[in-house]
Structure 1
Amino acid sequence: MLVVDPPVTLFMGLDKHENEDLIKWGWPEDVWFHVDKVSSAHVYLRLNPGQTIDDIPMSVIEDAAQLCKANSIQGNKMNNVDVVYTLWSNLRKTAGMDVGQVGFHNDKEVRKIRLEKRMNEIVNRLNKTKTESHPDFRLEREDRDRRERNLQKKELKEKQQREKEELEQRKKEQELKSYSSLFNQGNMKTNKDAAEEDSDDFM
């Protein structure tokens, strides 16, 4: 869903099984939203490159939170609902949990926004941009990781090349320095100086 300029993508699982796939194959740059303490859709916001959770405009946080509330059977009927959000990397899944259920590695990294009521104008606007698809979450994550690895390799190669060029430049500068010091005016002698030194030796 494109909700702001520059556009961002909001997406959510169709059911608890798709939520489970999103929990498993989310991206490090995904931010997870859920109505606090009651069942709701898992809504994700994918950050743009270089963006952090602190850079998300409040309007986008409100959009994602309203989407969560609207897709919660209990939460949709309630006023003054809290929606929690955190980075995907902070989600913790253990063997004993139900399908679609998650905990957190660090509770301090979980943020909260309170919604007084459902804002139909927000929900209706988001629903107009809604598209339904059934992507292969695992494949998308593996493609993302491959691109990340290739980028890191490229950056490392470029860094090594820069360091090599800098080293060669320093070597050239040192060679020039030592070469020029050989011909330093103070160390140079005229033929007359040399002849006088020779004559001194035989005195």
Structure 2
Amino acid sequence: MVFYYQISDPDYIVYMGKDKYENEDLIKWGWPEDVWFHVDNLSSAHVYLRLKKGETMNDIPQRVMEECCQLTKNNSIQGCKENNVSIIYTPWANLKKTRDMEPGQVMYHDESQVKYVKNVKKVAIVINRLEKTKEWREVLLREERERRDKEERFTHRTAAAEVKKAELEAQNQKKQQAEILHYTAVMKKENMKSNKYNSVDDDDFM
């Protein structure tokens, strides 16, 4: 089961795992569009924000960022009791998992891609609103990811085919224009020959 929340911007999806074991599946089958949130230096839920295609972490709207941080803090047993906490976030693809790690534990491939939101304090009105939207869903994470990848490959193949088609059309147009220019040059008056005014010496026939 995966928890889903309806945040202020319906164009974004926010979800988190039920427990540390489910977090393992989320780590394994996340999407390249996902951004991972966690309380810094404390145990907490793994909260994911799914960006729109083509977006990066720098494109996250401020209000959406605040809501993700509130959810992350509120779903930390210790963090929710603290006056303020720091929230870390990074692209899903930056999460690193090794066999010797405990369930739910992660490292990072590139520390420079890990960002921080400092001094996150509880905003009760935001938490109360988000909790009212909380929904449990039975999700086949692997199947969803494989379907997403299949659609992505189809999109890339279609785009590549369109580019190839456009290049071929451009080459044909260039070739046609070159043929027209060549034909025009050949048909110029100074390049044409005629026998109309050629004189013939009768002696040539003797």
TM-score, normalised via structure 2 length: 0.91
Q: 1:95-151: CA deviations, max 9, x gaps?
A: 110011000001111010023421111111111221111201100000000000011
Identity %: 47
Matched to 2:111, the amino acid is: D
Instruction: Show structure 1 runs of 4+ deviating over 3 A.
Output: 189-192
CA RMSD of aligned residues (A): 1.6
The equivalent residue for 1:44 is: 48
Which residue of the partner structure matches residue 148 of structure 2?
A: 144
| Match of residue 132 from structure 2 | 128
Residue 82 of structure 1 pairs with residue 53 of structure 2: no
Gaps of 5+ in 1: none
Match of 2:174 in 1: 170
Q: How far is the alpha carbon of 1:159 from its aligned partner?
A: 1.0
CA distance in 2, matches of 1:16, 1:130: 18
**Take 1:51 and 1:116, find their aligned partners in 2: how far apart are those partners?**
24
Higher strand share: 2
Q: Distance in 1 between matches of 2:47 and 2:22?
A: 11
The alpha-carbon distance between structure 1 residues 3 and 116, as it changes in their structure 2 partners (threshold 3 A), is: closer
Provide the rounded CA distance (Å) in 2 between the counterparts of 1:44 and 1:142.
18
Distance in 1 between the 2:183 and 2:78 partners? 83
Residue 110 (str. 1) matches residue 114 (str. 2): yes
Shifted more, 115-124 versus 94-103: the winner is 115-124
1-structure distance, mates of 2:120, 2:144: 36
Residue identity matched to 1:119: V
Paired residue secondary structure (1:132): strand
Matched positions, count: 198
